[in-house]
Amino acid sequence: MPIARVDLMLAAMGAPHLSSQTTSLLRLAGASLARGAEIRIWTCGYATMLTAESLGASKPRNVLDWGGSYPSTPSLARELLATYPGSVSWLACRFCSDERGATPQIPEVRLETPMRFGTHMAAAGKTIFFGVV
Amino acid sequence: MADYLLVESQGGWLGPGTEAFLRDAVSVAERGDRVWLLLIENGVTGALPGHWPELATLTGLGTCVWVDGYSLEERGFDPAVVAGAVTVVDMDTVAGKLLEPGVRVVWH
């Protein structure tokens, strides 16, 4: 299956909460999409857990804000995909997801074999890596 | 001459990697390439006065040093306290530079 060309591929590798890299990735994705770019997000390693269906729609209650509700990372991914339909895709490495029990993924995310990572990179104008697997 | 957007996201306390990245930025600027250095996440601490002397070297070489305003605010820093030669930017500005054809990006 041919892979559509995109302007930018953002590859999130490794532990997504070790730093603020997930926040930066989502901010950059949103800013790029707002400028009309077409982007692809690829998660590997523990970053695949960002869109695991088991996380639900919201985070556990904040004891300091008992009545508040905070979106889970799958919800943030869904919001990005819904806000820019056709301009952004989200892929999760199948091997990494399976190995870490990060399945099932939310239906909006496509599982992809790591064997096609290079092909996806080649179809992107630029690829930026966040973190280390 | 090539254009580079180099992004430093880590604080200097995490080891020699950040220093090495900044030295690389200086090397790239010294050979005549155009460099935009973005400090983001914990990297914004490097813009506090007296922290990273490499920033003065870089600005002296014509490098644009950017500091992410969101990261500053998240960490409780008043944008006014960052060193005078840096520019506080938002992610839209970063995206604009990153998406420019020919700009090479490295995110550390």
Judge whether residue B12 has pLDDT over 90.
Answer: no
Residue B95 and residue A19: Cβ atoms within 8 Å?
no
When mean pLDDT is compared across A86-100, B24-38, B74-88, the lowest value belongs to: B74-88
What predicted TM-score, i.e. pTM, was given to this entire model? 0.94
pLDDT in tens, B75-101: 999 998 886 789 999 999 999 999 999
Q: Does B18 touch chain A (CB under 8 A)?
A: no
pLDDT in tens, B33-48: 999 999 999 999 999 9
Residue B105 and residue A35: Cβ atoms within 8 Å?
no
> Mutating which of B5, B8, B42, B91 best tests the A interface, going by the most A Cβ atoms within 10 A?
B91
CB-nearest to A32 from B9, B74, B99 is B99
ipTM of the complex: 0.93
Tokens of A70: 């905070």
Q: Which residues does chain A have within 8 Å of residue B105's beta carbon, measured at their own beta carbons? A: 126, 128
- How many angstroms separate the first and last alpha carbons of chain A? 27
Question: Cα A19 vs. chain centroid, distance in angstroms?
Answer: 16
Q: How far apart are CA A36 and CA B95, in angstroms?
A: 11
CB-nearest to A31 from B95, B101, B105 is B95
- From the list A55, A132, A38, A36, the residue with the least C-alpha distance to A90 is A38
Work out the minimum CA distance from A106 to partner chain B, whole angstroms: 27
DSSP codes, B30-45: HTT-EEEEEE-GGGGG
| Residue of chain B minimizing CA distance to A24 | B41
Q: Does A19 touch chain B (CB under 8 A)?
A: yes
Tokens of B33: 């390439």
